[in-house]
Structure formats: C-alpha cells, structure tokens
Structure 1
C-alpha cells in the first residue's frame, strides 16, 4: 500500500511523520511504502492514504480523492497508531 506523509515543503516534519508511520505499520504487520511529499505534489498524487497536519488536511481534502488523516504530534507513536488504525478500519475490503 502507498502512504504519503505530507508537509508544506516535503522535507522537514513529513520526514518525522514518515519515521513514526514506518514504525507503526511495521508494529501492526502491515506492508506499507511510506513516502514524504510536499503539499503541491500531494494534490496530484493518488496514494492509498495521506497523513498530515490539521492545517494542511483541509486543503488536501479539497484537492484529492485519497483519504486524509490528521496527526497533531508527529512523534507521538500512539496518536499516529490511532490514525493508522482508523485508516485500516475504514478501508477493510
């Protein structure tokens, strides 16, 4: 599955979020390819899910059909895990 960690420029906070997402997906036993991306590029991408800040989430929801999940504290593994579990539960096939 393709996952995006998105921030304004795609290099700072999105990298921190990516590292936490990688840990969470591994812990849950889910095979996921997590990439970082800037806001403009993410608007044209078609990942399985996008994880980002509340400030960016609204803009992304208006620009993409991919589900967008908000994370406030990128280093908080429990908060990130809750967002990932929400994504998994909402997208069970």
Structure 2
C-alpha cells in the first residue's frame, strides 16, 4: 500500500480537494493507497515518511529534501483536474514501479 500525503498552504480546503481527487484516481487505477492531507509546513516534516507527495506546482520546492530521499513529489498546475492527476500518477508512480 502506498502512503500518500496531499499538501496545501493551510492544510484545509485545497489539500482535502486534492485528497479526494487522488483517492478517486488511485481507485480507478486499482492502486491501494493510504492518504493524509495537511499544511505544507506539517507535510515538509512528514514527507520522507511517505511514498508520494501531492501539492501545487508552486509549493513543490518545499519538498526538495524528501525528493532527495526518494519520495515522489508531484506538483499540480490545476488542483481540480482529474486528467492531470491521472497523467502524473501514471508517469510518476505506475511507470516507476
């Protein structure tokens, strides 16, 4: 089971939206996941304990240390686009297995 964290600036609305969207896409792809959502400040400290981090493209730099330790960091341009989320999951998770 993949451990995934969805992060946004405050940890409230956007991360919850990302969580719901990525949960739907992972289910569609038949990939078992455990998803947590939080603020960027909390997620930065936790990211290395997760397999994948989702955030907006603008916040991706906050996770450089986690990425250096093997965590997949996925930046989204459109947090509401299931098409973008699915494409990035396929490119960064499915094709990396």
Q: TM-score, normalised by structure 2?
A: 0.86
> Which segments of structure 1 move beyond 6 Å, counting only runs of 4 or more?
none
Q: How many residues align?
A: 90
Structure 2 Cα separation of the partners of residues 59 and 44 of structure 1: 10
Aligned to 2:62: 59
Structure 1 Cα separation of the partners of residues 38 and 88 of structure 2: 18
Q: How big is the alpha-carbon RMSD for the aligned residues of Structure 1 and Structure 2?
A: 1.1
Aligned to 1:42: 43
Greater per-residue helix proportion: 2
Structure 2 residue runs of 5 or longer lacking an equivalent are none
Q: Is structure 2 residue 79 aligned with structure 1 residue 86?
A: no
**Contact 1:49–1:87 under 8 Å retained in 2:** no
Greater per-residue strand proportion: 2
Structure 1 residue runs of 5 or longer lacking an equivalent are none
